[in-house]
Amino acid sequence: MLGLAGVFVLLQAHFIAILQIIIYAGAIMVLFMFVIMLLNLKGKGEDEKWRSRDKNLLLTVLSGLLATGVLYKIIDIINAGDFNSPALPPETFGTVREVGTILFTEFVLPFEVASILLLVAMIGAVVLAKSKVD
């Protein structure tokens, strides 16, 4: 999804790129929250084997080397390429006005269906959470 946001930036559709990142980050955050809530971690019987400083140091060094290698390869690919300028999109492509116009004219039914679906899911989540508390 972040790659798709990068494509929108290259197409000069900065608004759509920012929306893509915000929605993606929100979805991942909600996913993490659900996983943490459903795992019901209590901290009983934690393994001490991964608490050792030596193993944490080894993982840190290996992760750093991997990240450095990936960044080096990306920079190498970017510097080696001969990029041609792409065809320019229309001036109004990706602007807030254009997105709003299309969203509320051509795609008003899918927009409303998605909003009702989200509302029903939110009400269902509240009902399920409230029944567990009671």
In a domain, 101, yes or no: yes
> Does residue 117 carry a pLDDT above 90?
yes
User: What is the rounded CA–CA span in Å between residue 98 and residue 91?
Assistant: 10
In a domain, 114, yes or no: yes
In a domain, 111, yes or no: yes
* pLDDT tier, 133 (very low <50, low <70, confident <90, very high otherwise): low
In a domain, 110, yes or no: yes
- Lowest mean pLDDT: which of 35-49, 98-112, 114-128? 35-49
Q: pLDDT for 60-83, tens place per residue?
A: 899 999 999 999 998 888 787 776
In a domain, 70, yes or no: no
Residues 6+ apart with CB under 8 A from 12: 88, 89, 93, 94
**Cβ neighbours, 10 Å, residue 92:** 10
In a domain, 122, yes or no: yes
Segment 55-62 shows an average pLDDT of 83
Residue type, 108: V
| Structural domain count of the chain | 2
Q: Is the pTM higher than 0.85?
A: no
Say which DSSP state 86 is in.
P
In a domain, 35, yes or no: yes
Cα dist from 34 to 27, 115, 119, 125, whole Å = 11, 21, 18, 11
In a domain, 61, yes or no: no
Segment 20-37 shows an average pLDDT of 84
Q: What is the pLDDT of residue 80?
A: 78
Q: What is the mean pLDDT of the chain?
A: 81
Q: What is the pLDDT of residue 124?
A: 86
Which domain range does residue 99 map to?
Answer: 95-134
Segment 18-22 shows an average pLDDT of 89
